[in-house]
Structure 1
């Protein structure tokens, strides 16, 4: 499968209200994964093989639960093109 971009946002429900510490654990999963990524104000965008990226999203969701979230909603966006897509190709003209 070609290179895919996946943007995702975790929305943890945290009993003590410390949401950002829980979100940091999800981002840590992405950082340790080795895929190309960019953390934004509202979502993290990754680049790589679809199955790999979806697995990272699953692990990030689990990391939120392990960090104290009682539940987690996840918003996912996928951009797939059989010829491949890149984050740089979509943002280069703006930088």
Structure 2
């Protein structure tokens, strides 16, 4: 299966002072998953197989709820092409 990029922004419905700790738990889970990822100011972009990345997206929802969110709004973007796509090919000229 080709490599794809999936960007995930989670917006947990928690008190304002709890937002970053909840988001940090999601990023910690992404880190432990072993996929390539990059944290940005508004979302985290991951690279890997689509099924694995979508599993991470699903797990992110349950983490937010287990950390006290009564609701989670997530924004997910997928960049897919048959031959695969990498983060490096899209942003290497800016580094």
TM-score when scaled to structure 1?
A: 0.95
Return the alpha-carbon distance in structure 2 between the equivalents of residues 29 and 39 of structure 1.
13
Shift of 1:29: 1.1
Return the alpha-carbon distance in structure 2 between the equivalents of residues 58 and 13 of structure 1.
17
Is residue 66 from structure 1 mapped to residue 55 from structure 2 by the alignment? Answer: no
Shift of 1:69: 0.8
Shift of 1:61: 1.3
Q: What root-mean-square deviation, in Å, do the aligned CA atoms of Structure 1 and Structure 2 show?
A: 0.8
Which segments of 5 or more consecutive residues in structure 2 lack a partner in the other structure?
Answer: none
Give aligned pairs, total.
Answer: 94
**Counterparts of residues 16-27 of structure 1 (less than 5 Å):** 16-17=15-16, 18-27=18-27
Look up the SS of the partner of 2:42 in the other structure.
coil
Q: Partner of 1:38 in structure 2?
A: 38
Shift of 1:28: 1.0
Return the alpha-carbon distance in structure 2 between the equivalents of residues 29 and 61 of structure 1.
11
Which segments of 5 or more consecutive residues in structure 1 lack a partner in the other structure?
Answer: none
Look up the SS of the partner of 1:73 in the other structure.
strand
Look up the SS of the partner of 1:5 in the other structure.
strand
TM-score when scaled to structure 2?
A: 0.95
